[in-house]
Amino acid sequence: MRGHLNEQRYLIALGSNVRHGRFGPPRRVLVAALDALADRGLTVEAASRVTDTAPLGPSRRRYANAAAVLSTSLAPEALFAQLQAIETSFGRRRGQAWGPRVLDLDIVLWSGGAFVGERLIVPHPEFRCRTFVLAPAAAIVPAWPDPVTRLTVRQLRARLTRPRLTRAKPLP
């Protein structure tokens, strides 16, 4: 259904740090999640490699992270509902922020620009400061611009990863 007039493109962040009884370790959970997206009629245009990253917040388990570009005729809130249904089908339980999770699917960017709804904000409010989102995203859509800052995914990643100069203290 590519080229459909109502087609939207979305950048999705995927994460897991809990083994799944059927799919196995977090890396395999993300592969299964990509299949689940396609099974729901969403077109996976591109997907990054899965990377292992340090946890954010109180969790001690390392995460598997990836990014994917989806195309669909769904509006942002309808896609958000689909993503939450997939998370639930994988055993995701809502609760502690940054806690362990079988599957986390977040809408990062949308081809329609910015969106603010009751339960969803696009661009994702925290994506600009998360290397574990920007690194896989830069591998598949480096030129996608953030509608708020107008910087590309590549530029946002470079801002996070480039070495910072420190000011030397004057000698006595």
Q: What is the β-pairing status of strands 63-72 and 43-47? A: antiparallel
Phi and psi at residue 68, to the nearest 5°: -145, 150
Catalytic residue among 19, 61, 104, 162: 104
154 has catalytic annotation: no
Catalytic residue among 27, 39, 61, 92: 92
Catalytic residue among 101, 128, 130, 157: 101
Q: How far is CA 124 from the centre of its chain?
A: 9
Q: Which regions of 94-160 does DSSP assign to beta strands (E)?
A: 104-110, 115-116, 121-122
Give the residue among 123, 10, 157 at the shortest CA–CA distance from 72.
10
Catalytic residue among 106, 130, 146, 157: 106
106 has catalytic annotation: yes
- Contacts (Cβ under 8 Å, ≥6 apart) of 104: 13, 14, 15, 16, 87, 92
- Rounded to whole angstroms, the Cα distance separating 63 from 54 reads 6
Task: Give the catalytic positions in this structure.
Answer: 92, 101, 104, 106
